[in-house]
Structure 1
Amino acid sequence: MSQEFAGEEPSGNSLGRVVMLVGNFIDGDSRVQKQARSAAAAGWQTFLVGRSPSGQREEYPLGQATVIRAAEVMTATRYRSSHPRRGLSGVIAYRSREVSKVKHRRQRMRQENSAIERMRLGRQLESGSINPVVAAALRSDFAVRAVATRGLGYWVAARKQAFDRNVARSKADPNSGLRLLLARIGGDSPAWDAQPRLVDFEDSFGPLIDELEPDIIHANDADTLGVAARALIRARAKGRDVKLIYDAHEFFPGEIRHGDASWHVVMAGEERRYLPLVDGVCAAADRIAAAMADCYHLSTVPTVVNNMPERSTLVGTVDATSGVRGDLKLDPDVPLIVHAGMVAPVRGLDTIVRALADPALSHAHFAMLVGSRQGYVADLVRLAESLGCGERLHLLDYVPVQELTAYLATATVGVEPFLHTPHQELTVTTKFWSYLNARLPIVVSDVKAMSAIVAEMGNGEVFAAGDAQSAAEALRKVFDDRKRYTHAYEATGSDATQFTWETQVERMLALYQAVNHVKP
C-alpha cells in the first residue's frame, strides 16, 4: 500500500476498500457522486477516481468518500488530433500537424530567401562588379532556382490544404470508414485507434488503481471497464482477491453518439470482451438490464440501480415565484416548459422548439438548463429565432444536483422529447425522476420506457417522437388541465419517497456484499 494513503487504512469496522472509476470530471455526474457518498456512509472505504480538468492530480472529500481526479496528459487523444484521418487525400496530405507546420514554415523561409537572392543579384549587377558572361550565368541560375522554389511552393500548399481538409473532416467524424469497419470486426488496435481515450485512461487510472489496492473495483460505463479488468488481473497475479463490478449507464449496442459513429461499436466491443471477468453487473434502468442480459447471454439479469434524486431533495409546498420561474421573472400563470438534461440532436429538443412556435402555445415559454451556449444549443437558439419564438426560449445554467428538484418545481411541465434509438427506447433519464419528484406533469415522446411510466401513472402526456404538432397538442392538454396530471401523484397513493436514491442504493450495497464474499 502506498505511503500516500497510509493514514487512510480501513478502520476496524470497514467493510473493505472500493475504487470507483468514471471517465469524466465527476462534478456533473450525480450518479457516481451519490454512489461514492452512499458506499462510504455504509462503511466501505471509498475512492472515486475520475479525470482532472487541470491535467494535474486533485483530491478532495465527498462526504466520507475521497475523490481523486487523476493526472492525465491525454497523449493518445492528442496524437490522433494531430494525425487526422487521411482518406483518398492522404496520398499527398502531410501526416501530422507538426510536419505540416514545419514544411509550410520552411517554404515561406525559402521563398523569402529567394527574394533576398534576387536583391543581392540586382545589387551586384548595378555595381558593375561582374562581367556580362558571369552576370548571364547568375541570372540563368537564379531563374531556374526561382522556378523550382515556386513549383515546390505549389506542392507544399497542396499538401497543406489536403491536410487541412483532413482535419476538418476529422472534426466532423474522427474515424474513417476503414477504421470503423476494423473496429466492428474487433481487436485491440482498431478499438484503441478509434477511441484513443481508452489508452489515455489506462495511463491515468491504471497506476492509481494499483496504488489504492482495492477489494472491489466499480467501473462506471464501458470506457473504464478495460482499465478495471487489467487492474484486476495485475492484482490477482500478486495474490490479492479483487472483485470487479460493472455499472452500465447505457445500452451501447443501441447507442448513437452524434459525430462519432465508432463510439457505440467500440464500447459494445469492450463489454463483450471484459464482461466474462466481471463478478457483478448493475444497470441504470430495468430495460437496459434486460437488454444486456439478452444481448450478452448473461446468466443473471443485472441489478437495477436507477439514478433517482435523494430524499433530502424532495419538496413540499413551493413558492410559485421562486426557482426556475423566479429566475425568469415569469408570473405564476405563464405556462413554463423545462428541460434539465443533456442537449444533443438525438434528444429531440428541436421538436419542442418547433412546438413552441405553434399558435396554440404562443403564450408558453421554454427553459433549458445547459452547460454551454455553443454547438447544438446555439443551433436551437437560431431555430427559435427563425420561427419567431426566440424571446420565449431561455437558457439557464445548471444548478447543483441537491437543489435541482426544488428549482424545477415552479415550472408547469417537464419534457423528455427523445428520438427513437435502441438505447433511448430503454432508458429512464435522471431528469425524468427529478421531474417526478418535483411533482411536475411530464410530457414525453413515445420511447418505450419513459412513455410506459407516464401512461401507467397518468402524470403526463405522450407524443409522437420528432412530431412538433403532436408535441404541441400534448403540451396544450397539460396547460389546459394541469391539476389533472399533478393529482395523479396523490391518486396513485404512492409514498413520496418511492422514487428516491435511498431505495436504489440498497441494491448496489447488497451487490457489493454478495461479490465480496464470493470465493473465486
Structure 2
Amino acid sequence: MEPVPSSVPPTRGRVVMLVDNGVNGDSRVQKAARSAADAGWEVILLGIRGASPEETWRIGDAEVRLIKVARRLSHPVTYRRALLRRPLAYRPGRQANRRVQKMKVWRADLQFRLAEATAAAREGGSRWAFLATRARLAAPLVTATVLARWTKFRAGELTRLQQRQQDPTSTIDRLAMRFWQSTMGDRSWRRLDPELWDYEMAFGPVIDELKPDLIHANDFRMLGVGARAAMRARARGRRLKLVWDAHEFVPGIIGRPTNPRWLPAQIAYVREHAPYADAVMTVSPTLADLLREMHDLPEQPAVVLNAPPRTLTADQRALPVPDLRALCGVSASTPLLVYCGGINPSRGVDIMIRGLTELTDAHVALVSLHPNGKIKAMEELEELAAQLGVADRVHLLPYVPHWQVSRFLAPADLGVIPIHHKPNHELALITKFFEYAHARLPMVVSDVKTMAEATRATGQGEVFRAEDLTDYLRAVRAVLADPQRYRAAYDRAGVLDQWTWEAQARVMDEVYSRLLPDAPPSRLAEPTGAVEAVPAR
C-alpha cells in the first residue's frame, strides 16, 4: 500500500499508532492521530479492516491504514477433543455438520427413489418392478438410518463436550488453566488465548516495514504487538520508543461467561508486556495509580482525558449539526433527557425508560444507534418501553461525528449517566461526561466513584444511587426544577478549560518529546481564549 502524500513535511519523526478496531467510532484515537500530526509528527494510524471498503484515508495530516487480521489461531476449546471426556465426539470444526448433512442428503436421495417407484406402481406400473426397487433399497435405507443416528450422536457428543469445556466450574479445565498459569506464569496467555497472536501476525510485518521512531499502542491488545516490534527494532540497532495508552484496567474488564480463560489470558498478556513500555498514558488519575502499582512502573503514567476539542476545524464546522428536538418531535418546553453512547445491561439505561412512568411529560433521547443497526440490548429497551406504555416518548437516534456530539446534545435539558458499579466504571471520567459538560448540560450520574466525586465537586449535576429508581427520580426532578443552578457551574473560570482535548494533546506531545528529545520543537500552538460557546437552552 502506497502512503498518501502529506501536506506537512515530517520533520519530528515517524509515529505509528496501533488500535484494535476500525478507527471510525473511536474518538480518542482519531483526536490523538490528528493532534500528533498537527504537532509535527508523521503519523500513520494502523487499525483493523472489517467490513469497511476503505483501506486508507486521512484524519487531518495523519494517515489511516486498515489491515486485515486473519483469525487463524483458534482458541484451544475449538480444537481440543478431550478424548477422556467425550471419546466419540467429532473433531471440532466443520466435520460434524458436514457428516450430518451428508447423511441427510443420502437418506433424502434413497427416499426419493423409493417414492418414485411407489408412485409408478400406484399409477399402473409393474408391481414386480416396485418390489424389486424396494428390495434393492432396503439395505441402503437401513444403513443410512443407522449411520444418520450415529453421526447425529457423535455431533451431539461434540456439542456436549464444547458446552462442558466452557463450564467455568469444570474440574478438568480449571486444572488445565492452573497448570499453564503455574508453569508458564505471564506467558500462559499463549495457551489460554492464542488468538492474541493473530494481531501480531497481521500488524508486525507492517510496523517493521514502516520503521517508526515511536509506537503509540492503544489499549491492551496492541501493547504486546508494540512491545515485540520495539524489541525487533532495537535488536537491529534502531532507536524505537513504545508508548502504551491504557484505556481501561484489564483486571476490571467484565469477562466472557462462555470462556473463563479469556480474562486471565489478557491479564497475563498485559503483565508480560507492560515492562517494555517506555512511557504509559491513561485516562484518569485513579487508573494511573492502579497501573503504576500493579506493574511496578518507574514513573506515574501521564493522564490524557478523552475530552472534546476546544475549537473545530473548518471542515468540521461546515457539516450541519442535526436538530435533536426536531428528530424527537418535541418542542423547546418539553423536558428532554438524553443518553449518548453504547447500550448494554451494565450501562443501566433501562432506568431512564422506567422513570418515564413517573415523569409523565418527559421524553428520553438515546443517541446510541450504530450505523450497523440495532443490537439486542436496544431491542430489549424498546420492548420495555412498549410494555410500560412509554414507547412514544423514547427516541432512538443515530450517532453523530464525535466533534458534533456536544452541539447536538445541547438542546436537551439534562444528560444522564446511569452506569452500574463495575470496576472500570469507578475509575474514570468517561467520554460522555465531558461531552455533556461541553454541551453545558446539567447531569444526573450514578454514584460510581470518580464521576460522582467530580459532579459533587463542580456542582454541575446530581448523584443518585446506581440502580435505585426512586433516587434516580429524585435527582432528575431536582435538576429539572432548577436547571440554571447546575448550568452555572460551567461559567466558573477553568471548569471547561481543563476538560478540552487541546490541553490533553499537549500532555501527549510532551510524552513523545521526552522520549525523542532530539526531535524539533512542537508545532502545537498554545491554547488561547475560552472554550467555544455552545448555544444555550
TM-score range relative to shorter protein: 0.7 to 0.9
1:388 aligns with 2:389: yes
Q: Is it true that 1:307 corresponds to 2:273 in the alignment?
A: no
Structure 1 portions without partners, runs of 5+ = 315-320
**Match of 1:335?**
335
Cα RMSD after superposing both structures: 3.7
Aligned to 1:98: 94
- The corresponding residue for 1:318 is none
Query: Which position in structure 2 is the counterpart of 1:255?
Result: 253
Unaligned runs of 5+ in 2: 314-320, 519-537
Give me the whole-angstrom Cα distance separating, in 2, the residues matched to 1:7 and 1:232: 26
Q: Given the superposition, is the C-alpha separation of residues 228 and 322 from structure 1 closer, same or farther in structure 2, using an over 3 Å criterion?
A: closer
Residue identity opposite 2:18 in structure 1:
L
Contact 1:56–1:71 (CA under 8 A) maintained in structure 2: no
Segment drifting more, 182-191 vs 377-386: 182-191
Match of 2:215 in 1: 217
Higher mean C-alpha displacement, 327-336 vs 51-60: 51-60
Matched with 2:67 is 70
Task: State the partner residue of 2:375.
Answer: 374
Deviation per residue, 1:4-51 (Å, 9 max, x gap): 45977994x611111000000001001011111111111111101001
1:281 deviation in Å? 0.3
CA shift, 1:94, in A, is 3.1
Change (3 A) 1:121 1:496: closer
For residues 403 and 81 of structure 1, do their structure 2 counterparts lie closer, same or farther at Cα, with a shift above 3 Å needed?
farther
Over 3 Å counting, the alpha-carbon distance change for 1:128 and 1:391 in structure 2 is closer
Partner residue, 1:462:
463
Which deviations, in whole Å up to 9, do the C-alpha atoms of 1:191-222 show, x marking residues without a partner? 35654552221222111111111111111010
1:266 deviation in Å?
Answer: 2.7
Shift in Å, 1:279: 0.4
TM-score, length-scaled by structure 2 = 0.82
Give yes or no for contact 1:249–1:283 (8 Å, CA) kept in 2: yes
Residues 252 and 265 in structure 1, CA contact (< 8 A), matched pair in contact too = no
Q: How far 1:176 sits from its partner (Å)?
A: 8.7
Q: Could you give the per-residue CA deviations for residues 424-457 of structure 1, whole angstroms, max 9, x where no partner exists?
A: 1112111110001111011111100000000000
- SS state at 1:498 partner: helix
1:156 aligns with: 151
| Residue of 16, 31, 35 corresponding to 1:38 | 35
1:75 match: secondary structure: coil
- Does the CA-based 8 Å contact 2:256-2:262 persist in structure 1? no
Superposed, 1:13-412 pairs within 5 Å as 14-54=11-51, 58-76=55-73, 91-112=87-108, 114-115=110-111, 139=135, 143=138, 146-163=141-158, 186=181, 187=184, 191=189, 195=193, 197-257=195-255, 259=257, 262-312=261-311, 323-357=323-357, 359=358, 361-370=359-368, 371=370, 372-412=373-413
Contact 2:196–2:221 (8 Å) recurs in 1: yes
Whether 1:472 and 2:469 are equivalent positions in the alignment is no
SS in 2 for 1:268: helix
So what's the TM-score if we normalise by structure 1? 0.85
**Deviations 1:447-470, CA, capped at 9 Å, x for gaps:** 000000000001100011111111
SS of 2:488's partner is helix
Greater helix share, structure number:
1
Match of 1:317 in 2: none
Retained in 1: the 8 A contact 2:8–2:40? no
**Are the equivalent residues in 2 in contact too, given 1:57–1:71 (CA < 8 A)?**
no
Aligned to 1:240, the other structure's residue is in SS state coil
Q: 1:286 to 1:377 in 2, by over 3 A?
A: same
Aligned length: 498
Deviations 1:119-173 (A, max 9, x none): 89999996869xx9xx8xx95x965554333222112223334556778999xx7
Please name the residue that 2:524 is paired with: none
Q: CA deviation at 1:401?
A: 0.9
**C-alpha contact (below 8 Å) 1:57/1:70 kept by paired residues:** no
Aligned-partner Cα distance in 2 for 1:324–1:257: 35
1:148 to 1:512, Cα distance in 2 relative to 1, 3 A: same
| 1:313-370 superposed Cα distances (whole Å, 9 cap, x missing partner) | 59xxxxxx9732232121112111111122111111122222222x2x1111111111
> How far apart in 2 are the matches of 1:453 and 1:517?
35
Q: Are positions 1:448 and 2:443 aligned together?
A: no
Q: How many angstroms apart in 2 are the aligned matches of 1:4 and 1:47? A: 12
Identity of aligned residues (%): 35
SS at match of 2:243: strand
Counterparts in 2 of 1:337 and 1:273: CA distance versus 1, 3 Å: same
2:430 alignment partner in structure 1: 429
Report if the CA contact (8 A) 1:179-1:190 is conserved. no
Provide the rounded CA distance (Å) in 2 between the counterparts of 1:85 and 1:422: 36
- The residue number in structure 1 matching 2:508 is 508
1:473 CA drift (Å)? 1.1
Q: Secondary structure at the match of 1:155?
A: helix
Matches of 2:12 and 2:252, distance apart in 1:
37
Change in CA separation of 1:309 and 1:97 when aligned onto 2, cut-off 3 Å: same
